[in-house]
Amino acid sequence: MGEKMLEYSNKWLNMAQPEFNMAIYEMQAEISKTLAHPLRLAILHNLKNGEKTVNELTQTIGATQSNVSQHLAILRQRQIVKTRKEGTNIYYRVASPKISQACDMVREVLIEQLNQKQELAKNFK
């Protein structure tokens, strides 16, 4: 069993580097496309501290229930969120904490950029 696992690992390591990179970049682009909507980012931000129902998300985000549901369906289809059913409620959660971390990091970079622009604007007054 260990030899087969090692053989499989070596296969990936020996794979032509550009082909492997392109496959990863294509997958990354697909996730990026999925995250490229403000409402989906707001949903993920609201789910980072724990699971919520559509109604709870609707109240905190301020979007309609049907709109939140549509975006949750896309996030679920792309395996970015997972669900758990309890009675009549469906609870949504982020599939991996790394997704929330990545979104937070991008937001932090944007905040830093905004702060730099504000600082530059102050210097030109």
pLDDT at 14: 53
Categorize the per-residue pLDDT at 12 as very low, low, confident or very high, splitting at 50, 70 and 90: low
Identify whether residues 4 and 60 lie together within a single domain.
Answer: no
Please state, in angstroms and rounded to a whole number, the distance separating the CA atoms of residues 74 and 116: 34
pLDDT band at 84 (very low <50, low <70, confident <90, very high): very high
Domain encompassing residue 107: 37-123
Assign 96 a pLDDT band (cuts: 50, 70, 90): very high
- How many domains does one find in the chain? 2
With the CA atoms of 99, 105, 106 and 112 taken in that order, what torsion angle do they form, in degrees rounded to the nearest 10? 170
CA distance 87 to 109: 41
Residues 51 and 103 in one domain: yes
**32 and 80 share a domain?**
no
| Predicted local confidence at residue 22, as pLDDT | 87
Express each pLDDT in 25-81 by its tens digit.
999 999 999 999 999 999 999 999 999 999 999 999 999 999 999 999 999 999 999
- Cα–Cα distance list, 26 to 32, 49, 97 (Å): 10, 29, 22
Residues 76 and 112 in one domain: yes
What is residue 108's predicted lDDT score, i.e. its pLDDT? 95
Closest CA to 117 of 96, 14, 109, 66: 109
68 lies in the same domain as 102 = yes
Predicted TM-score (pTM) of this structure: 0.76
Looking at residue 111, which CATH number applies to its domain?
1.10.10.10
